[in-house]
Every structure is written in structure tokens, then in C-alpha cells.
Amino acid sequence: MSPKCLEVDVASQGDTEEEALANLKEALELHFEPSVATRPPKVRTIDWRLARLNPHPSGK
């Protein structure tokens, strides 16, 4: 048996209906479990400057 939750496109399978539904429940729990970072993100400082753009070449 291969049940599927169509709302979130998660499927599972099992030899019996009871096993298939238990496996689907576990798959849904894993699908909605918050993700955990495996390593901290790299943080960089970005140096930037904002230049004033003058649309008139003469500076007016």
C-alpha cells in the first residue's frame, strides 16, 4: 500500500494499511520538522559607498 498526502506532496508505503499509514505519519512529521543548520552561516562585512549621480554633465 502507498498512501499519499496530496496537500503537501508527501508519500510513503508499507506492507499493510496500518504500517503504510504509520510510515506516512512519520514522513509528514519529518516534512514539517524545522530545519537545523549543520554549520553556522558565514557573515561578511560589505563596505559600500553611495555616490550622488548628477544627470547633468555641467553639474547644474
pLDDT tens digits, 6-58: 889 999 999 999 999 999 999 999 999 988 878 888 888 888 887 777 766 66
Note whether residue 1 is domain-resident: yes
Note whether residue 49 is domain-resident: no
How many domains does the chain divide into?
A: 1
Note whether residue 52 is domain-resident: no
Burial of 24 (0-12, 13-18, 19+ CB in 10 A): buried
What pLDDT does 37 receive? 77
| Residue 16: domain span | 1-34
Rounded Cα distance, 24 and 50, in Å: 54
Note whether residue 27 is domain-resident: yes
Note whether residue 20 is domain-resident: yes
Rounded Cα distance, 60 and 51, in Å: 16
Note whether residue 6 is domain-resident: yes
Note whether residue 56 is domain-resident: no
